[in-house]
Amino acid sequence: MSIKSGYFKKHLSVDLSSGSCTQLDLQESFIREYIGGRGFGAKMVWDNLVAHDFKVDPLGPENLLVIAPGPLTGLYLPSSGKCSFISLSPATGVYGDSSMGGSFGAELRQSGVDVLSVTGKAKELSVLMIEDAETKILPMPELKGKSCLETEGLVKQALGTHEINVACIGPAGENLVRFACVNADWSRNAGRTGIGAVMGSKNLKAIAVRGARDLPVHDLEGLIKEAEKAYDYMRNHKFFDLWQREGLMNVMEYANAAGILPSYNFKDASFARIGQINGDTMLDGYKIGDSACFSCPMCCGNICLVKHGKYMGTVVEGPEYETCAMLGSNLGIDNFAAVLHAAQVCDEYGLDTISAGNLIGAVIEGYEQGILSLKDLDERPITWGDEEAILELMHKIAHREGIGDILADGSLRVIKTWPKLDKLILQVKGLEQSAYDSRAGASMALAYATSDIGAHHTRAWTIAKEIELGQDWSDEEKVDLVIYHQTLRPLFDMLGVCRLPWIELGLNEEHYESFYSAVTGQPATLAELLQKSNRIYDLTRLINTRLGMSRSDDTMPYKVHSAPVRTGPTAGQVIDKQVFERLLDLYYQKRGWDAQGVPAAGLEKQFSP
Amino acid sequence: MSKRLAVIPELCSGCRICELVCAIEHFGVNNPKKSAIRVLITYPHPVVRMPIVCSQCKVPACADACPVEALKKTDDLVELDRDLCISCLKCVDACPFGAIYAHDQVDNPIKCDLCGGSPQCVAKCPKKALRLIPEQVLGESKRLNNVLSYAHMKEIEYMEKGEKKTIRYAEIGKEEL
């Protein structure tokens, strides 16, 4: 069998130092084994590490940035707008990636490119322009310091067209903030692991793409048949209307009721004034429209406008759950207009809202406890719900002013500077934790600890099962579920589709084997595809262990094991360290890694360049 | 009865499923750039998501501009005769809405033909932002909205058999229009 279609088989390789843009052919074996998206990215990052003898600075010119949609991106099937950004992470120093919705990935594919890699560093701040695989590097130093929204507008103006797709960074990316994100379609983000800083380190302000090619599909009729089944299933789902109406904001009430909503820097896991920052509040006074990623009927993105008060005129796409929780309840903010404004500020600066919310929460608590002095805070006191001080801090982070310069380097440097903050910051491997409190269940703590990119929820989101089942399931079931998620969820990133139709509406994962088979002409079962995504998990683990990580980096943040939730449904809960270590042992064993979490010695050969 | 494809931009989410199904229906390919309907997005001031598609004008500017009379108004459509068309693309420029499209791999301008009476974009739009409606109904919702904006809705509470109830009524003419 062979891959008959589904790819242009083109890799666009850009070296910003030399200015060379080369079209390389992708080998069929590479396509078959790594599929696309983060599969392509992990392998290319690995090859780059091998070529540099594992001495790669995430912010150095030698670091490789890979931008990869998947073979399903841009196709007529549910939610095919995903594109992965993969690199060594400036936040963790090890493997990092982040996936973005919107339509940037679809446009990139239509230009005839399956994967784009960028290395080197441009002499001046530049824009990479890709049109039907013709590539130009355009110096645009005038974009320096411009916000993401301004940048997208100015790039379109400079190129003389509105109908072009732009992914760009804001001041945070330029200033190498280690949790800077990449922004496209005005406000879709590749938010996590600091990919924006990688672009900044390369003097790459934006990537503009336009393409008009037919996307290769082996059996279009078969694909459409399967896609219609999936679309019909989604349209008829009982929660479909809720998703269209509230999008991810519906999670606020769910998380609050379950006791997993971060509040006051994770001191609490529910928020007394939830009614002021929930979906109903948004619908009552703020929502003005829907926003969907490419080909997605769920349109979980809301568009909100603040119509009066001091934040009047604020327009933001979202907020998503993570943003509303981390910039709302986690900072003690109960003013929805202020949450929207903070989200807009993060969009404009190009800051990851999850990391920003974590770090600012830790600063407030640190000051409250006397760990941070007024002098540390540049003589500007800060407290819970203090909207103005919080917005000021965001500005300082993005521009590296005062204390912002330290915060901009992420948890690891913050902890080095103020070791006592270690107990207040929820992070794993240097990546700040997402907005699902893992004290509700040990499997979620295991999921964060063993996530290859750090404490992010997209790798395994077992918390819903924890809430459903309570403590009433075995260690083995928990570990199996974490591993299943870590295998299936990356598959979505490899194929270039969103996981929400599956996780939120229960769309059967077997649709994806049909999609893959119809598109590539190579019949594959779900089990076969999962084998391949599982292999990528081994590969990213190998990257991390070769860069010096081991069991001692697969940890629980201090609060998770030693600071019980203060109030609410999960009050008093922590995760027992012994239980966690037992799960971790079992996890390594099932993964086939040794007791230190290092994959078998023979594995490396499988991935030789 | 003449029907028109009505676009309700307030409902559009920008998912572009309309573009996908249009190109599949007419060209048998997965390529939104070969669609006769495209979603244009402006953000953040103003926030607009607007599917742009041929209005099948009764006095079509495109037909006026066509040097070979390849575009003709029929009952429901402005129809493109591909045999006559020389693909000069003058119609693309002439359309005041930019609702005729061009693609370098397609011989003729790309223009909505209402899929022979049952447009796929209408059938597949997940937000019901596209509708095929009788011509005389066009503008209906705008008229209703206009009336409602004239009337200022008020709410009063009252007690009935010990139960609190509310009634809504319209206070007319108090707001300056």
pLDDT in tens, A426-466: 999 999 999 999 999 999 999 999 999 999 999 999 999 99
Q: Which of B12, B13, B45 to mutate to test the interface with A (most CBs of A within 10 A)?
A: B13
Q: How far is A225 from A77, CA to CA, in rounded Å?
A: 10
Subunit contact A76:B31, Cβ cutoff 8 A = no
Q: Residue B15: which of A235, A297, A303 has the nearest Cβ? A: A297
Bridge partner list, A190: A182
Q: How far is A259 from A568, CA to CA, in rounded Å?
A: 6
SS3 A369: coil
Q: How far is CA A470 from CA A218, A443, A466, B21, in A?
A: 46, 11, 5, 45
Q: How far is B37 from B21, CA to CA, in rounded Å?
A: 10
Nearest CA in chain B to A299: B13
A149 close contact with B: CB closer than 8 A = yes
Q: Does residue A132 register a pLDDT over 70?
A: yes
- Strands, E, within chain B: which ranges? 3-7, 38-42, 48-52, 71-73, 78-80, 130-134, 151-160, 163-172
In the prediction, which pLDDT does A389 show?
Answer: 98
| Torsion angle of C-alpha atoms A208, A212, A218, A219, degrees rounded to 10 | 120
In the prediction, which pLDDT does B172 show?
Answer: 64
Q: How far is A354 from A322, CA to CA, in rounded Å?
A: 6
Cβ contacts of B113 within 8 Å, gap of 6 or more? B26, B36, B77, B79, B80
Instruction: Provide the pLDDT confidence category of residue A169 given band limits of 50, 70 and 90.
Output: very high
Chains A, B: CB contacts under 8 A, how many? Answer: 95
In the prediction, which pLDDT does B173 show?
Answer: 57
| A-chain residues near B20 (CB < 8 A) | 75-76, 295
Which of A484, A535, A591, A518 is CA-nearest to residue A33? A535
In the prediction, which pLDDT does B1 show?
Answer: 61
Which position has the higher pLDDT, A177 or B3? Answer: A177
Q: How far is CA A283 from CA A249, A308, A317, in A?
A: 10, 15, 14
| A-chain residues near B31 (CB < 8 A) | 110, 212-215
A228-232, A383-387, B151-155: least confidently modelled range: B151-155
Q: How far is CA B143 from CA A505, B138, B140, B146, B150, in A?
A: 38, 10, 5, 5, 11
> What are φ and ψ of residue B134, in 5° steps?
-60, 145
Reported ipTM: 0.96
Length of chain B: 177
Which position has the higher pLDDT, B135 or A263? Answer: A263
pLDDT in tens, A91-101: 999 999 999 99
Subunit contact B43:A75, Cβ cutoff 8 A = no
Q: What is the DSSP string of A213-260?
A: PPBP-S-HHHHHHHHHHHHHHHHTSTTHHHHHHHGGGGHHHHHHHHT-
Which tokens hold the place of B65?
A: 């501009």
> What are φ and ψ of residue A219, in 5° steps?
-130, 85
Subunit contact A186:B44, Cβ cutoff 8 A = yes
Instruction: Provide the pLDDT confidence category of residue A226 given band limits of 50, 70 and 90.
Output: very high
Nearest CA in chain B to A297: B126
Q: How far is CA B3 from CA B6, B57, B117, in A?
A: 9, 12, 9
Subunit contact A292:B103, Cβ cutoff 8 A = no
pLDDT in tens, A392-433: 999 999 999 999 999 999 999 999 999 999 999 999 999 999
Give the burial string for A217-256 (b: 16+ CB within 10 Å, else e).
bbbbebbbebbeebbebbeebeebeebbbbbbbbbbbebb
Q: How far is B26 from A582, CA to CA, in rounded Å?
A: 59
The answer to whether residues A224 and B24 touch, using CB atoms and an 8 Å cutoff, is yes
Nearest CA in chain B to A213: B31
Bridge partner list, B73: B78
> What is the share, in percent, of chain A residues with pLDDT greater than 70?
100
The runs of H, that is alpha helices, within A330-450 are 336-349, 353-368, 387-399, 403-407, 410-417, 442-450
SS3 A289: strand
> What is the share, in percent, of chain B residues with pLDDT greater than 70?
95
- CA angle (A524, A529, A532) in 5-degree steps: 130
H or E segment to which residue B120 belongs: helix B120-124
Sign of CA dihedral B68, B72, B77, B81: negative
In the prediction, which pLDDT does A247 show?
Answer: 96
Instruction: Provide the pLDDT confidence category of residue B177 given band limits of 50, 70 and 90.
Output: very low
Which of A37, A102, A35, A33 is CA-nearest to residue A67? A37
Q: What is the DSSP string of A552-606?
A: GGS---HHHHHS---SSTTTT----HHHHHHHHHHHHHHHTB-TTSPBPTTHHHH
Instruction: Provide the pLDDT confidence category of residue B168 given band limits of 50, 70 and 90.
Output: confident
Q: How far is A605 from A593, CA to CA, in rounded Å?
A: 16
User: Rg (Cα) of chain A, in Å, rounded?
Assistant: 22
Q: How far is A144 from A151, CA to CA, in rounded Å?
A: 9
- The whole-angstrom distance between A310's CA and the closest CA on chain B is 18
Q: How far is A299 from A195, CA to CA, in rounded Å?
A: 25
Q: How far is A200 from A171, CA to CA, in rounded Å?
A: 9
Mean pLDDT, chain B, whole residue set: 91
Q: How far is A360 from A356, CA to CA, in rounded Å?
A: 6
Q: Does residue B175 register a pLDDT over 70?
A: no
Q: What pTM was estimated for this model as a whole?
A: 0.95
Subunit contact B15:A296, Cβ cutoff 8 A = yes
Q: Does residue B154 register a pLDDT over 80?
A: no
pLDDT in tens, A141-159: 999 999 999 999 999 999 9
Which position has the higher pLDDT, A530 or B148? Answer: A530
In the prediction, which pLDDT does A290 show?
Answer: 95
Q: Is cis: bond before B51, omega within 30 of 0?
A: no
Q: How far is A394 from A374, CA to CA, in rounded Å?
A: 17
pLDDT in tens, B99-124: 999 999 999 999 999 999 999 999 99
In the prediction, which pLDDT does A20 show?
Answer: 97
SS (H, E, C) A446-490: HHHHHCCCCCCCCCCCCHHHHHHHCCCCCHHHHHHHHHHHHHHHH
